[in-house]
Structure 1
């Protein structure tokens, strides 16, 4: 973390194979781009996605698919049929956390600071660096209660089958005043 409480930029390294020797090489090393949301209170950074599972890495098909999806501007929170790796930075003193649900199985790992996980049942838990939340299609929100420090989580979202609870299908719900992302699925 830097002196002013901001988090360091994320550097992305993508590996592949040297076509002659077959040895591992880095084919891209560059900063991962940041997308600022909600008046810079939330910052998204998507270093990689896959659009099929298992991914096809032959002829860099996975990389081409990722670059196409990112340039399309159509990535929602979830990538239907695939996965999304997303860093989310939360500004200090979050006032109104966004309650939302994705149709996905998510691993959310705190890597800097502390973050409150709030469930629609009213339950709240404070996660610290190294803690993980496994979100299974539930309504939840994240809040950074620190008055001075940013918090960072890394999420890996896996698309999931439709979820039925109590005989009702529940799907993505981006909440009121969402972070201006397109829906993950077209209805």
Structure 2
């Protein structure tokens, strides 16, 4: 086993939203494309194997790994119904948002609420 390392990065994560006019901002905090993660990463950097793929609902997850991402939705914005083939964790940092599930079930999420979705069709 190697020496434990703490990596502190001060740069601001790059916005990777679907298009420049999008009212949703997306920021990747960390990504690994394999589980278990490659612990040989010494600079806290990762290579995004789908970096050249346009950002869209089909490129939000990593089929073999894990992604930590921040979404910042403009007031009044809604997303289309979609599904990622992934295990997703959502933590609402501020504000509120309405989660809509397949079949029309809705739940208003508020600051501090946590959701776990397993391949769930949602908006």
Higher strand share: 1
The 3 A distance-change label for structure 1 pair 59 and 42 is: closer
The 3 A distance-change label for structure 1 pair 27 and 136 is: closer
Alignment RMSD (CA, Å): 2.5
* Matched residue count: 117
1:117 and 2:95 correspond:
no
CA contact (8 A) 2:100 2:106 kept: yes
CA contact (8 A) 1:56 1:62 kept: no
Give CA deviations for 1:96-135 in whole Å, capped at 9, x if unaligned: 5310001111111100110100012111000001101111
Cα distance between partner residues in 2 of 1:69 and 1:23: 24
TM-score of the aligned structures, taking structure 2 as reference length: 0.80
TM-score of the aligned structures, taking structure 1 as reference length: 0.55
Higher helix share: 1
2:70 matched residue in structure 1: 87
Cα shift at 1:56? 2.1
Cα shift at 1:51? 1.1
2:119 matched residue in structure 1: 137
Cα shift at 1:61? 8.6
